[in-house]
Amino acid sequence: MEWNVPKFPLDTLSDNGLDWLTEHGSWLTRAVSRTVSDWIETLTTALVAIPPWLCIAVAAFAAYRAGGRKIGLLTLVGLLFLWNLRLWQATVETLVLVTIATAAALVIGVPVGIWFALSRRAWRTFSPILDMMQTLPSFVYLIPALPFFGLGAVSACFATIVFSVPPVIRLTALGIRNVPSELVEASDAFGSSATQKLFKVQLPLALPTIMAGVNQTMMLALSMVVIAAMIGAGGLGRAVWQSIQRLEAGAGFEAGIGIVIVAVILDRVTQALAARARPHGVA
């Protein structure tokens, strides 16, 4: 039995909206595409030009300084194993994409999170949008990326940014809101301005929670690497996608293990940084 109520033309409205945006905003998307493409190519070329053993040594030392001996050793062994599997260049491409996407998500997400923490009206208005963004399947984010930026790493980077930005917004707002009210009242009593209160009281105390948001954002960005390979992104995701297309189970397993190793290293390092950001005496 058919329903005689006319269908709401959501698909047509979406198509018309994308057509209008691509037609009138093509100058902006082309400029952004060129800039991001240059960043990705420059960073990847620079890192690949450095001897892998030197990159691995520097990364292991940085991990050791951030999280101690175990995390430094984990980084050293994990990256050496990826080099041995002949996945070094793919690993570098993945790290560049994740780094750029995470940095852009933080540039967008932290200020928006601060705004949401300080404005209840803004939080109530835009919270449903964050809920929708975290509920949508990750494949959906590829749809608007293609008309704007076409196939390639730039579209993958754009989709990854949009997919991974909600956690840092939420956790930044949560961290600032959870600052003890006694400390906020004390700063007011000493005559602190709103800016001084934000940068000297609220943000320092919220930093561990914000760092948890950085961790979640980075993990979500990394989870997009395989999906982003469907629209032309390189790295370990492309290796997995190619192995699926060619039915090469062994190669796909190697690339999948590579993604796991990178995820574990990034997770442990960011967790260590979050622990170091926690004020002394706070559990």
Q: What is the pLDDT of residue 24?
A: 67
Q: Where are the domains of the chain?
A: 20-275
Dmax (CA) for the chain in angstroms is 71
- Confidence band of 255 (pLDDT split at 50, 70, 90): confident
What is the three-state SS of the chain?
CCCCCCCCCHHHHHHHHHHHHHHHCHHHHHHHHHHHHHHHHHHHHHHHHCCHHHHHHHHHHHHHHHHCHHHHHHHHHHHHHHHHCCCHHHHHHHHHHHHHHHHHHHHHHHHHHHHHHHCHHHHHHHHHHHHHHHHCCHHHHHHHHHHHHCCCHHHHHHHHHHHHHHHHHHHHHHHHHCCCHHHHHHHHHCCCCHHHHHHHHHHHHHHHHHHHHHHHHHHHHHHCHHHHHHHCCCCHHHHHHHHHHHCCHHHHHHHHHHHHHHHHHHHHHHHHHHHHHCCCCCC
pLDDT in tens, 77-111: 999 999 998 889 889 988 888 888 888 889 998 99
Give mean pLDDT, residues 23-43: 76
Q: How far apart are CA 101 and CA 177, in angstroms?
A: 26
Q: What is the pLDDT of residue 56?
A: 92
Q: Does residue 164 contact residue 101 with C-beta atoms inside 8 Å?
A: yes
Would you state the structure tokens that stand for residue 103, as one six-digit string? 């940095």
Give mean pLDDT, residues 268-281: 74
pLDDT in tens, 120-162: 888 888 888 888 887 877 777 777 777 777 777 788 888 888 8
- Confidence check: pLDDT of 35 > 90: no
- Confidence band of 3 (pLDDT split at 50, 70, 90): low
Write down the residue that tokens 């001996």 correspond to. Answer: 69
Q: How far apart are CA 224 and CA 237, in angstroms?
A: 8
Would you state the structure tokens that stand for residue 241, as one six-digit string? 């996608």
Q: What is the pLDDT of residue 282?
A: 47
- Confidence check: pLDDT of 76 > 90: yes
Nearest to 164 by CA among 109, 245, 88: 109
- Confidence band of 283 (pLDDT split at 50, 70, 90): very low
Taking CA atoms, 104 is separated from 98, 107, 161, 262, 279, in Å, by 10, 5, 7, 20, 27
Q: What is the CATH number of domain 20-275?
A: 1.10.3720.10
By mean pLDDT, which of 17-31, 134-148, 168-182, 199-213 is the weakest? 17-31
Q: What is the pLDDT of residue 127?
A: 85
Q: How far apart are CA 102 and CA 161, in angstroms?
A: 7
